[in-house]
Structure 1
């Protein structure tokens, strides 16, 4: 028999305890009946399988991307993935440049991580990200204060599909079915676009389970009541740049660093 996993609800670790002057990271939506599907660690091979599936059903997803994790964000295949996802109206957020444990970074190092992702997304898409998810969901008070000063809204989650820690797609699907029973309690769900089974099996079943329960599936900006227009999703919206010699990951922090 396959052991079925119940939904995982994250309790803040000591790293996530913050001064009340800084907003706590978001874990649920602003009103009942909403659920935001989020996907971390791209851009990667399966991103557009997910984005196309959601787009065909008029669902807006959220993709928290790295600059140099599963490949370089400037690789042409990744550039085209991001452009397609963005053109479909999905929200693109920052997940740091190289997926480090940001709680161990200095302020200068964290600023570099943010600057590099901002620079890449401004070049590729013409936008400066507004939403940030910390790798591993780890963040110190100092991290959150710095992010707030830079205008970021930090997004954690209420439910983890656990694809990144070895859950089978069957277990993740069953967890989503159990989660759907909590309707209308709002949800922000964590998934990873780097797994083929997440794209091809878990996401379609998650959508079905949540929608059948009555959830409206939205990106995190709508989830948090912060707007649905493109200008609401980013700190700035401009014009993409033409590729030049600066479109490289050479000389930047390596994956995990």
Structure 2
């Protein structure tokens, strides 16, 4: 398990090499101007005594129970959702998405189908992955996220340029829960928190999700740290978490690509 984690960490560091990353001192304008963040990745919270609770790949069969748990602890979270993943279709989870919004959580993008590492995808594919999910979320809950987390945390300067109208979020506190080993993930969380980690990567698609979330929330309570959304842990007001229909990333992309390759991509399906 440690070897796999080392490999994952090495791969992650390789993706981030030479890509500008925000540190706490760089966020003087957060909460004043929502978009863009100068095409940089965000991996750490900036508000003191907060941890950004963030769960990827859902919604899934465990998400409702996770929402119950968050309510019990008075905590908020960000859900980086997919349109299609783990065999689920997001349409089946409309009520879960609506509950997430109603309960004060944040919904963000994790691309449509988690199929691409975006540093390897074409600009047009990145565009399709983002706008397909945006359109679906607009249909289901009337919201189009301004926050996203790239699948497998894969980033590049070119990808950041395409996604300049999104806040690109990674992590500095990875629970490494993909393998489903609860004890290992608890240890990763403890070590990460001890080292000052503040922006969590976990999943609401794993069968350890509830036990791990309970453990994390207990540890945060013990240390008087508040579990909040990613937007809140960055001091970014809720009105900045979503864009209006018509205030669209699609328009920005097309202005950069005057020959309209996106339209060609949609027509051909390539």
TM range (shorter): 0.7 to 0.9
- CA gap of 1:49–1:108, structure 2 versus 1, over 3 A, is same
- TM-score, normalised with respect to structure 2: 0.76
1:93 aligns with 2:108: yes
Q: Which residue of structure 1 lines up, in the alignment, with residue 72 of structure 2?
A: 56
What is the rounded CA distance, in whole Å, between the counterparts of 1:74 and 1:44 in structure 2? 11
Q: Looking at both structures, which has the greater relative contact order when contacts are Cα pairs under 8 Å and sequence separation is at least 6? A: 1
Q: CA deviation at 1:211?
A: 2.1
Match of 1:202 in 2: 212
Q: Deviations over 1:117-152 (max 9, x none)?
A: 10011111111101000000001111111111xx21
- State the distance in 1 between where 2:20 and 2:183 align: 39
SS at match of 2:52: strand
Structure 1 gaps, min length 5? 239-252
Tell me if the contact between 1:18 and 1:144 (Cα under 8 Å) persists in the aligned partners: no
Determine the structure 2 residue equivalent to 1:248. Answer: none
Greater helix share, structure number:
2
Question: Any unmatched runs of 5+ in structure 2?
Answer: 22-36, 247-265
- Using the size of structure 1 for normalisation, the TM-score is 0.80
- Who is 2:25 aligned against? none
What whole-Å deviation, never above 9, does each CA across 1:205-240 have from its counterpart, x for those lacking one? 01111221121111011111112x3x23212389xx
In structure 2, do the counterparts of structure 1 residues 16 and 180 end up closer, same or farther at CA, with 3 Å as the change threshold? Answer: closer
Q: 3-state DSSP class of the match of 2:163?
A: helix
* 1:45 maps to 2:56: no
- Candidates 231, 236, 258, aligned match of 1:226: 236
Q: How many residues align?
A: 228
Distance 1:134 1:6, change over 3 A: closer
Cα distance between partner residues in 1 of 2:123 and 2:9: 30
Residue 29 of structure 1: how far off its partner (Å): 0.9
- Specify the alignment match of 2:255 in structure 1: none
Residues 175-230 of structure 1: CA distance to partner in whole angstroms, max 9, x if unpaired? 32333434xx450010011112112x100001111221121111011111112x3x
Q: How much does 1:80 deviate?
A: 1.6
Pairs within 5 Å for 1:108-147? 108-147=124-163
Contact (CA 8 Å) 1:15, 1:141: kept in 2 or not? no
SS of match in other structure, 1:42: coil
- 3-state SS in 1 of match to 2:170: coil
Q: Judge conservation of contact 1:176–1:210 (CA < 8 Å) in 2.
A: no
Deviation at 1:155, TM superposition (A): 0.5
Structure 1 residue 170, shift from structure 2 partner: 1.5
1:66 Cα deviation (Å)? 0.5
- Does residue 235 of the first structure (1) align with residue 253 of the second (2)? no
Equivalents in 1 of 2:9, 2:214: separation in Å? 21
Asked if the contact 2:174–2:189 (Cα under 8 Å) also holds between the matched residues in 1, the reply is no
